[in-house]
A = this chain, B = another copy of it.
Amino acid sequence: MTARELYEKIIKKNSFLCIGLDTDFNRIPKILRDSEYPIFEFNKRIIDATIDLAVAYKPNLAFYENLGAAGWMSLEMTVNYIREKHPETFLIADAKRGDMGNTSKMYANAFFRNLDFDAITLSPYMGRDSIQPFLEYRNKWSIILGLTSNEGSGDFQLLQLDDSYLFEYVISRAVEWGTKDNMMFVVGATQADQLKKIRKLVPGHFLLVPGIGTQGGSLEDVFVNGHNDQCGLLVNVSRSVIYADVTNNFEVAARQRAIEYRDQMKSLLQQSGLI
């Protein structure tokens, strides 16, 4: 998928919502826990309930690995289900990988070939050859950590260099390795004051923005500071959509919450003249 194609999907759905599938066995409705693949069953129902409202879904690998081989099976089933029923969806593996070339090549094969994700989140600490193997896949995306939404982002990412923060240096180097059709950056919604600077640094690139909802970031601030002329944003919400209600009513509640986000996004897209 190119950046242009992703933008077209955003326009079509009036939404730049990404739903994070941080699916925790202990938080899904009791009624699903006895099914053979409870995590997949939950994901399938969340996806079906929100597919017209979200342009992307983002399984968080930790939640699947925590269930071992059965977790991987649920991940595979989730990916295959989306590919079969909703092939137009942008699928992100939230994996935060990054290793030496030889190893990153294996991860790229695992996530882009075997599992057919469109994108993967990557940690930049090991530098260019840890990212390169992912960039070699056509129509696939590397989403590199820039400035994250957690408290620990202050420890290294906000380290003050001579004329910038470390995260700005990281983004300005990494952006040279790819294009706006195969590279995005993660910027936490809790860092809305920095978004303007990042948008200047990478005017044409998409940004993946977590931190709305449970973490407290403001969607409006993110949009105002972070959008570009092709939207340029995927805003992720995980827990506050998928666990909007933990009873048997969960699909209706998740849909309702996603509608609220979509409506807010539609209004922001309208105000900016993009739709």
Contact = CB atoms under 8 A, between A and B. Distances in A.
Nearest to A109: B66
B110 A65 contact: yes
Interface residues of A, number: 56
Interface in A112-135: 114-115, 123-131
A150 B94 CA distance: 24
A230 interface: no
Contacts of A173: 155-156
B130 A152 contact: yes
A98 B100 contact: no
Please classify the interface of chain A as helix (H, G, I), strand (E, B), loop, or mixed, using the class held by over half of its residues.
helix
A101 B157 CA distance: 16
A100 B149 contact: yes
A148 interface: yes
Given A100-B150, A130-B150, A157 B125 contact: yes
B62 A68 contact: no
Interface in A146-162: 148-157, 159, 161
A106 B156 contact: no
A63 B106 contact: yes
Contacts of A151: 101, 127-129
B129 A152 contact: yes
A153 B166 contact: no
Contact of A72 (B68, B106, B115, B126): B68
A202 interface: no
A196 interface: no
Contacts of A104: 62
A107 interface: yes
A125 B156 contact: yes
Interface of A: 22, 24, 60, 62-63, 65-66, 68-73, 76, 94, 96-104, 106-107, 109-110, 114-115, 123-131, 145, 148-157, 159, 161, 166, 169-170, 173
